[in-house]
Amino acid sequence: QVQLVETGGGLVQAGGSLRLSCAASGRTVSRHVPGWFRQAPGQEREFVAAITRSGSLRYGDFVKGRFIISTDNAKNTVYLQMNSLKPEDTAVYYCALGIRGDSSWYPSSLASYDFWGQGTQVTVSS
């Protein structure tokens, strides 16, 4: 059974930073495709970042160099370092893991992911 548990969300002022963590169990993150998505109230779930099987990093267009996705293989954990946060970054952030062979093809697509965490709230105040 795969479990993804996100932590690290909270309230931060605009311009601040947060680091989200996603601890995985049941699957080895480094062998699959980890990703982060977010969903603001009334909005669709949106792609934030992912790491393909080849190790390529992918980011949503809005990131513009502010976020960094990484993994700690020893801890089987995925991180999302978020810097220069803006009020429009306010959302619930979800960790996801794609285990299928084609998960790397479209890392920005929700359909590429098989497992999801419960989400962690990030609120950026102006």
3-state secondary structure of 111: helix
d(CA 120, CA 89): 13
d(CA 107, CA 126): 31
Model pLDDT for residues 68-82, shown as the tens digit of each residue: 999 999 999 999 999
Q: With bands split at pLDDT 50, 70 and 90, how would you rate the model's confidence at 105?
A: confident
Element (H, E) at 35: strand 33-39
Model pLDDT for residues 41-60, shown as the tens digit of each residue: 999 999 999 999 999 999 99
Which amino acid is located at 63 in the chain? V
CA pseudo-torsion sign 81, 86, 88, 90: positive
What would the two tokens of residue 105 be?
């093809």
